[in-house]
Amino acid sequence: MTEQSWQDGVYAALKAAGVAQIGYVPDAGHARLIERAHADNDMTAVVLTTEEEGIALSAGAWLGGQRSALLMQSSGVGNCINMLSLPINCRMPFFTIITMRGEWGEFNPWQVPMGSATEAVLKAAGVHVRRADRADEVVDMVAASAKFAFDSCIPVAVLLSQRLIGAKVWVK
C-alpha cells in the first residue's frame, strides 16, 4: 500500500466516522490529509497556531453537533497536557492522529525527548493510545479508534510511527 493510498484511506475513514472539522498545525506527515480536507466542501480545515487550540476546536465542534479530529506531530503533544483535562472532565470525545518524530531514522536530536515520551504522557493524561506501524493496519485502526472516541465520549490518539510516515531528511 502506498503512502498516498493509506492516507486517502484514513481520510475516507474520517469521513465515514462523521468528522466534519479537522484542526491541524502544518506538518509534512499529515500533508495529504490536510490537502484532502481543504479540497472537500463538506469539511472545515482549520489551521492552528498551537496544538492545544485543536482540543478547544474539538470541544466546540462537539457542543455544536459536529465531530472533529486533530492532526498533530508528537512534538506538539507536550503543548496539550493541561488542555486534555477539558474532554476528560467534560466527558467529550476527542480524537487525534499524531505523526511521530524522534524515532526511526530521526536526524534531529531535539525531536527525540518528546517522541520517546509521547505515548506515556498521553496515557498518563487519560488518553487511550493506539499505534500504527504498518500501512496495512492504519485505515482500520483509525476507523476503529474514531468509533471508540465518538461512541464512548473519551479521548483517543492514534500514533503513526516514523517508520510508517518516513523519516524526514535534513537538506543542507
Of 114, 112, 118, give the one whose Cα is nearest residue 131: 118
pLDDT tens column, 72-107: 999 999 999 999 999 999 999 999 999 987 777 766
Q: Are 122 and 112 in contact (CB under 8 A)?
A: no
CATH classification code of 3-155: 3.40.50.970
> Between vectors from CA 121 to CA 118 and to CA 123, what angle results, nearest 5°?
105
Q: What is the pLDDT at residue 164? A: 86
Q: What percent of the chain has pLDDT over 90?
A: 78
The stretches of 40-168 forming alpha helices (DSSP H) are: 52-63, 85-89, 112-124, 135-152, 162-165
Arithmetic mean of pLDDT over the chain = 92
Helix (H/G/I), strand (E/B), else coil: 40: coil
Q: What is the pLDDT at residue 170? A: 67
pLDDT band of residue 2 (cuts 50, 70, 90) is: low
pLDDT tens column, 113-135: 777 889 999 999 999 999 999 99
Half-sphere exposure of 79 (CA within 13 A, CB side): 15
Helix, strand and coil content of the chain, in percent to the nearest 5, comes to 55, 20, 25
